[in-house]
Amino acid sequence: MCINLTDIQSQNPTIKLTNVQYGGSPGVTVGVNMTGLSVQVCLGGFAPTSDHQSIDYQGLDSLIQYDLDLTQWGGVLATLVPGTDVAGDIRAQLDPQLTVLLNSIFNAQSTHAAISKALADLIRTQIPGGRYSQITALQGAPGGASWIVYYEP
């Protein structure tokens, strides 16, 4: 199951970098804007919770996509070493940190609880009468497009 968030808006600048030293330039403060920001989190390893009242996930993969707007760098870009990939260098620093941040959010107990509750509520809407005493098993359909939930009334 994947969660996709698109057209995420951020403040301006999205990130403020301080004491940037690049290509022999003196330490400066620059703003970096992230535009076209989107996030995809794919959850996996679904199984009934230990109390058999809901479903939880055990693993996740995340992807953050964005464009960098470096127009606020102004004259700083002119002082950089020609032929360098400023955006690539920024991404190399940001991407791992953003992935860790996103994964920590989805690995937080509060997020597990919220998603587990939402899945339990969804299951209840699909069961005649909307009640079950426990979820006994979960089987994913080929391709992961749907699940079969086994339960006791």
DSSP conformation class of 141: P
CA dist 74 and 136 (Å) reads 60
Q: pLDDT by residue (tens digit) across 30-87?
A: 677 888 899 999 888 888 999 999 989 988 899 999 888 776 665 555 555 566 677 7
Q: Which amino acid is at 151?
A: Y
Please tell me the pTM assigned to this model.
0.71
CA dist 147 and 49 (Å) reads 16
Among the listed residues 62, 64, 76, 102, the one whose alpha carbon sits nearest the alpha carbon of residue 22: 76
